[in-house]
A and B are shown apart, each in its own frame.
Chain A
Amino acid sequence: MSSMNIASSAGSARSFIEIDSLEKTFHARGAGARGKGGFKAVDNVSLDIERNSIFGLVGESGCGKTTLSRAVLFLDPPTGGEIRIDGIDMRTLSASRLRTFRKRIQIVFQDPNSSLNPKMSIENSIKEGLNNIKYAAGEPERRAKLDNRVDELLALVGITPGHKTRFPHEFSGGQKQRIVIARALSVEPDFLILDEPVSNLDVSIQAQIINLLLELKEKLSLTYLFISHDLNLVSYLSDKIAVMYKGQIVESGNTERIMAEPVHPYTKKLFSAIPGVTRIDEEQELVFHVDEPGYSEGLPEGYCFYPSELAEGEAQASPQMLEINDGHSVACFEA
């Protein structure tokens, strides 16, 4: 399944996806590119994703998970740092090369209702992608080949190919998400970004889609960046987990290790809140205001974890990732 015509030039020691010191700053209107400040939605993020693995990205709403994924796709080009996919630096690609290259990376969003065009039959939705990559262009019997490809893709995700002339509203939520996945796979990507792909689905349907994703990953040697706020799900799926907080990765490592021994105070706090583990101890005094953002006063959402634990002077500096164990890193201030 690799009809990639762009040279793969990976050194053997390199990860499939290398994200290095990635930054994405948004500027307020009128402030100009050199205007002071701006809002750093993604700040100094470095990640390595191994081929054919699932990398889980967790964090609370507004922490920059989605911005990061859009920056990786170059939908919102990052304002700093590097992204290398299979050894190719995305920044060096010309606009047209970027277009062809991008088919290797696809994204599945949370809400299939807004990712499928309601006025297009699902067949046409999938063909759109195939036409974009000029599938079977100029070949004899192109139409038949296109039709076959659509049938093949639908069968792959468990949708009866005979239903391909139907429209999105004729399918249930879980089926729609399957169709979205089929469409993403139509251009033969090797890297999928899954942005909360099951959080809109019913509990009994979630498991079906998760099993499908795991199956497809093996069958097609895919690599996933799985973004979710559902820690139970991420800990079930991922080989590695990165915890994001206010635009920065505060801890990353192998799932088992990070779940067993979270180091960063934010990770600890987040994992201690995973529902379904122990009954909440209602006798224990509630600590209020812990993560209530300072309300109004123009403060950004969230608050910084460090100042409460470190002297104020130190808190001004930006923390660095420190590898504390094989593949397990945590953001901290070096003494």
Chain B
Amino acid sequence: MSDRVNDSKNSGASRGAGSTGGTVLKIENLHVSFGEGETRARAVRGIDLEIHRGELHALVGESGSGKTVTSTCVLGLLPTPPAIIEAGSIYYKGHDHEGDLLQFSEDKRRRTRGREIAMVFQEPGKYLNPALRVGEQIMEMLRLHLGFRGEAAEQRALEILETVGLGGNRRVLRSFPHELSGGMKQRVMIAIAICCNPSLLIADEPTTALDVTLQMQILKLIMQLRHKFDMGILFISHDLAVVHDIADRVSVIYAGKIVESGSRDEIFNSPQHPYTRLLLASVPDAAKRGKKLVTISGKVPDAEHFPTGCAFHPRCPLAEKRCADEQPPAEKLDGSRSASCFCLGKEWPA
């Protein structure tokens, strides 16, 4: 996909000098399943996704759609078994390493993980070690991956804290996670993630547990960091409002498949896939006051029982006969977008 549209309009000034905009991650035809026989759950069924440096790519979907399986697979944290990576490749191009992550040796993966591919989780309280001082947890990374020692490590940790807005405060370094508020803990998580200058950051619902005012600050911080460190970000979320505010590109995932992908403007201004259209219409906001919300009938299918053909067809108002039998291929549309649906452009029923 060389026709990438750089739609981060106001990115010019803050973009790092080393910015290339090149591909940092390219997932191709990834299939992941759990279990066998009757209970086989095909959680991810052929995902294609490309992330460039300095780009915030949002993967939007509901629970059970395969967002988290995809991201843990990229990190190499998916335990196999029970998971089975059936097919696909995850091409990665970072500072020191390049190639298919799925072919990396365990040792090589360990050296990439945390160093080049970092992750921020939803609940910082759960992922920080409660028994270790925050400074220790940051310096652990610096020592392990970059060989920092003693005073130098502490100095570097302080700089990182400054970057994430906990400015130059040794008290923060010496505090335990429970002494920090939720927002500060999330900043510490981000500090740990970025302290080795990764090329790819995976952020899995990083602000879901935070209040709105804090959420905005953390989102802004993440947006700024992608330019500062020239890293690609895979931002996983179910919250369309948040994605609207921060994403450069958006991929919508349903039942283990990406149903639509495009730039933020394309997805939010003129969604094409029926699922995206309904999803956007069903989100309440002040502008829809007094009007009935559009609903998507039925419920999200679980991975053991994904419908045949297009997985969305039982809930889709446009569905035709062949939607139940055949899987629609990803179709390239105008601009930088693509969608998988047989009924694109079909008139919406009243």
- Chain A residues near B (Cβ < 8 Å): 60-61, 172, 174-175, 202-208, 210-211, 214, 229, 231-233, 235-237, 255-256, 259, 269-270, 272-284, 286, 288-293, 295-296, 301
Contact = CB atoms under 8 A, between A and B. Distances in A.
Interface in B85-125: none
A270 B212 contact: yes
Contact of B13 (A60, A283, A284): A283
A270 B284 contact: no
Given A231-B212, A236-B285, A208 B295 contact: yes
A110 to B, nearest CB: 14
B283 interface: yes
B214 interface: yes
A205 B299 contact: yes
Interface of B: 10, 13-14, 62-63, 165-167, 171-172, 175, 179-181, 183-184, 211-217, 219-221, 223-224, 227, 238-242, 244-246, 264, 278-279, 282-286, 288-289, 292-296, 299-300, 315
Nearest to B182: A61
B56 to A, nearest CB: 10
Given A276-B244, A289-B165, A207 B286 contact: no
A202 B238 contact: yes
Contact of A207 (B13, B14, B294): B294
Q: Which of B167, B240, B242, B299 has the most CB of A within 10 A?
A: B299
Contacts of B165: 286, 288-289
What 9 A-B pairs are tightest by C-beta distance, nearest first?
A276-B241, A236-B284, A60-B211, A288-B165, A275-B241, A207-B282, A235-B286, A204-B296, A207-B293
Contact of B219 (A207, A277, A280, A292): A280
Contacts of B246: 279-280
B171 to A, nearest CB: 8
- Give chain B's interface secondary structure class: helix
B216 A255 contact: no
Contacts of B10: 281-283
Contact of A235 (B181, B289, B300, B315): B289
Contacts of A233: 284
Nearest to B227: A282
A269 B213 contact: yes
Contacts of B299: 172, 174-175, 202, 204-205
A211 B296 CA distance: 12
B212 A229 contact: yes
